[in-house]
Amino acid sequence: MDASGNKTAVVTGAGSGIGRSVALALAAAGWTVAAAGRRIEPLRETAGAAEAAGPGADVLCVRADVSEPDDVAALFAAVRDRYGRLDLLFNNAGTFGPSGVPLEDLPHEAWRSVVDVNLTGAFLCAQAAFRQMKEQDPQGGRIINNGSISAHVPRPHSIAYTATKHAVTGLTKSLSLDGRPYRIACGQIDIGNAATDMTERMQQGILQANGQLAVEPVMDAADVARTVVHMAELPLDANVQFATVMATAMPYIGRG
């Protein structure tokens, strides 16, 4: 807890979509939130929305590109200097990459960009959080990784995104194991079709495995945020290792 008695969370990708919804939900639940992202203005919009919903909200906006080690180090240093400790990292920042590009045509630069954000960025943030949680007194904290339905099953033409999200599952398992001696818990939330800018194309029709285009159901990102808050507020001797939150009728189970 910080000096005010609130628990402190870092949320990456907090300027929009799921990250913003989670930051708002944590702030509403009484958490102090460090909202991180590549552009400062959307982060300030997140902070403004939190303050409008609850005048006591404390949201620190930090511009950070999670794929850059120096940015990540500065982000966690800012949290440590202002709040003294870290109780939660929601490792959320991510990118899908080019849409609809066949595997054989995917440029190396596009592959590298997705890996840098989704995997390397998640690792860098987890590493920084792990170090701080290990060193602080009382020791411990929680890391929640955003895995995605793609941590289990791919979409057509999504090799970079799918590969990174499968890798995030390995990251989650390793963090869970390595964190045991230090009271650092790690879980993963796999999200399917939350209504965000990233999933807007699903409302116009998205390519299915059978080659057809289909409009897919979506759910409110606030439904995801409530699940993250539940995972975050468990005592450290309990952990949701993996959770799947998805639009009920999306094509995932069976034939869709």
Each residue's pLDDT tens digit, 57-113: 999 999 999 999 999 999 999 999 999 999 999 999 999 988 889 999 999 999 999
List, for residues 179-215, the tens digit of each pLDDT value: 999 999 999 999 998 987 766 777 778 888 888 888 8
Instruction: Tell me whether residue 182 is one of the annotated catalytic residues.
Output: no
Structural domain boundaries in the chain: 8-246
Separation between Cα atoms, residue 182 and residue 176, nearest integer Å: 10
Rounded Cα distance between 244 and 225, Å, is 12
Q: Above 90 in pLDDT, residue 4?
A: no
Distance CA 125, CA 67 (A): 9
**pTM confidence score:** 0.93
* CATH 3.30.310.80 for the 8-246 domain, yes or no: no
Q: Please give the Cα distance from 176 to 171 (Å, whole number).
A: 9
Q: Are strands 242-246 and 8-12 parallel, antiparallel or unpaired?
A: unpaired
Banded model confidence at residue 2, pLDDT cuts 50, 70, 90: low
| Contact by Cβ (8 Å): 91, 126 | yes
Compute, in degrees rounded to 10, the torsion defined by CA atoms 141, 146, 149, 151.
-80
Q: Which residues pair with 198 in a beta bridge?
A: none
25, 245 in Cβ contact below 8 A?
A: no
User: Is the alpha carbon torsion for 167, 189, 144, 20 positive or negative?
Assistant: positive
Q: Which one from 83, 161, 182, 252 is the annotated catalytic residue?
A: 161
Quick one: tokens of 44? 């300030």
User: Which amino acid makes up residue 193?
Assistant: N
- Most confident of the following: 16-30, 153-167, 202-216: 16-30
Closest CA to 34 of 63, 56, 5, 69: 63
Residue 123 tokens read as 């690792």
